[in-house]
Structures are given as C-alpha cells and as structure tokens.
Amino acid sequence: MRMTTLTKIGVAAALVVSGLTVAPTAQAAAPELSPGLLTAMRTAFGLTESQALARIEREHAATRKAPEARAAAGRSFGGSWFDQDQGVLVVGVTDRAAAERVEATGAQARLVSRTAAELDRVKDRVDDLSRAGRVPAAVTSWHPDPRSGAVVVDVQPGVQTAEVARFLAEARELGPVEVNTEGVTAPVPFAAGTVGGDPYYTGNVRCSIGFSVHGGYVTAGHCGGTGAQVYGWDRSWQGQFAGSSFPGNDYAWVRTGGGWWNVPVVLGWGTVPDALVRGSWEAPVGTSVCRSGSTTRWHCGVIQSRNETIHYAQGDVHQMAGTSVCAEGGDSGGSFITGDQAQGVTSGGYGNCSSGGRTWFQPINEILSVYGLRLLTA
C-alpha cells in the first residue's frame, strides 16, 4: 500500500474559533517550539537561543492576555499591539477610566485619539472608493494603524501622478490618512508555474499547503477554483478544491482522498523536526511570525498590520494581515505560525527572500468559520 502523507508537503493545524479575539484552547503553558522554527527565528532576528525563547514566551503571554484586555477597554478600545522593546501588550484606549481597567488585566494602556471602530470605518470607506474604481494601480494597500491613529496607505514611490493625488485627497476627506512609500512595489499573489519541490499542483499552478483539517487542508484561494483537481508532490491525485474565494478573500480548502491523510504539523523540510501546532490564538501586531512554504521554506519576521486591504491587479482582498516576512512564487497557501499557534495562509506580497519584502496572510480563524472546518491540533 502506498503511504503518502501530508507531512511531506508541509501542513499545520488549529482549532476552530470564531471572532476577532479568540481563545481556542484552555490557558496553556509556554509554547513548544520545533528546532526548525527556533533556528529560523534566531536567523531572522539575530538572537541567541535563550533570547529567542524569551521573546516567544513574552509574545505567548501577550497573545493570551489580548482578549481580556480588549474586553476591559470596552467601547473605547483603540487597537492593540505588542511592544518588542518592553516585551508587553499595549492597548490603546480613548479615556482614562478604560485605561485603568486595561491595566488591571496586566496590559499596558496608552491613550489614543480614535477608537479601533472609528479607524475601521475610515478604512471601509477607502474600500468603497476602490469598489467604485477610484483607486489607482500605484496604490498597493491600506490598513488602520492604531499607533498613529490613522489609515496608512501604501503608494509606490516615484508614481505620484495626478490620479494618485486625487485619490489621496478623496481619502483624506474620509478621515485621517497617512502615506507610506518606503520599499513599496506592486503586490502579486505568490502562486508559481509548475517546477520541482514539495508542492501541490492544480493545472499549471504550484502552491503550498497551509493547515490540515478533518478531511483535507486549507490554502490560498487564488491557487484554484472550486472543483479544480489537485495533485500532490509526487503528482498522484490528492483531492479537489471543495471551496475557494478570490479576490475579495484569499482562502480555499481542499478535500483530500486517494490515500492521503492529514497531520497537525508544519514541515521541517527533512533537516529539522516538524513543528506541531496547538491552537489558533490571534497574535497581536508587533509579534514575531514564521512562514513555511514549498519554495523558500522557513522564514520569520513581524506582524505589521491587521485588517489590511491589498490592491491586487486581480481585485482587492480584504481583512488581511501584513508582515515583514519574505516569500516567493510557489509559497502561496503556506503556513504562518507564531510560536505553536497557527495564524494564517500565505497570500502574496512583493520582494523576495534575497533582498527582502513584504507579505500578507489570510487569517486562519476566518477560513475555519466560513467553511465550518475543524482543524487538527497536536
């Protein structure tokens, strides 16, 4: 009997949870890290092993504190982020009474000028401009930034046309807007043509598996449409897309068969042990995150944004998370994890793993909720 496993390709798992602030498991001890993930973090951030472990420990505590701190902030919640310098969760609030409640949870409170809900509404209005066809191609993405109290719009440098100026003027009429041009280039989905490696294939597209679920796995929506047939790393039939959404979203799930089974790990690529995944707590902005993909394997960086809209040539994709992690063609659909907690699947970005770049992922808990999936955990 042929023994073909998803471990060969690279999968991870998470528990099913809905909502923006999630608590998929009981309060847990410190995350268990694979040597591969630890090595990737040390390389990305220039840390010793003890420093990397201490960083993950602090981020682990902040991630679990975030839901309680957000609830304490109530309607004055102005967003949250992890402060790497201080090693603490910071929660923005718009009044001092809320600040006292937040600090009672052990998080640090910071007075901000606008609530997260207000910034989200401004960002949604910019989305409406895009739906009306009024966002030029030189504008690549936009997201609410609680630290600056504005919606940050990324614009390709050197493309300050009259069309861009008109769009920015319109956007600023909707609310506070800041412009970023540093390192910005046009984003693209990270699917690739069929080349070698440890991928899955559909048509002439190569992508990476994200997270294993009961009956299959989740991945990126731009990799294939509903009903498309999927073939594994060895070109044997693996299954078919049971659901897919792109653009608008960038998620999909594949129902597997033909002797393939599912395991709750992220692939160690044969040189280190596979990384077990034990939940899907949503990590705050500012925490470290690592990505596994069939082209570039392990790379790490920092979560830079949440609820970001990406202005792909194929159409906008909403509610994404932006990171400083690099990726390349064929990494699409691959796993993003923080510690031992699944975060999402690779969508696209710009740059590469030689010169660096920016990458977005589709958050995992939304995928689970939309398709009613239950993921595997160790």
- State the catalytic residues: 222, 250, 332
Judging by beta carbons within 10 Å of its beta carbon (0-12, 13-18, 19+), is residue 8 exposed, middle or buried?
Answer: middle
Per-residue three-class SS string for the chain:
CCCEEHHHCCCECCCCCCCCCCCCCCCCCCCCCCHHHHHHHHHHHCCCHHHHHHHHHHHHHHHHHHHHHHHHHHHHEEEEEEECCCCEEEEEECCHHHHHHHHHCCCEEEECCCCHHHHHHHHHHHHHHHHCCCCCCCEEEEEEECCCCEEEEEECCCCCCHHHHHHHHHHHHHCCEEEECCCCCCCEECCEECCCCCCEEECCEEECCCEEECCEEEECHHHCCCCCEEECCCCCEEEEEEEEECCECCEEEEEECCCEECCCEECCCCCCCCEECCECCCCCECCEEEEECCCCCCEEEEEEEEEEEEEECCEEEEEEEEECCCCCCCCCCCEEEECCEEEEEEEEEEEECCCEEEEEEEEHHHHHHHHCCCECCC
Strand partners, 193: 205
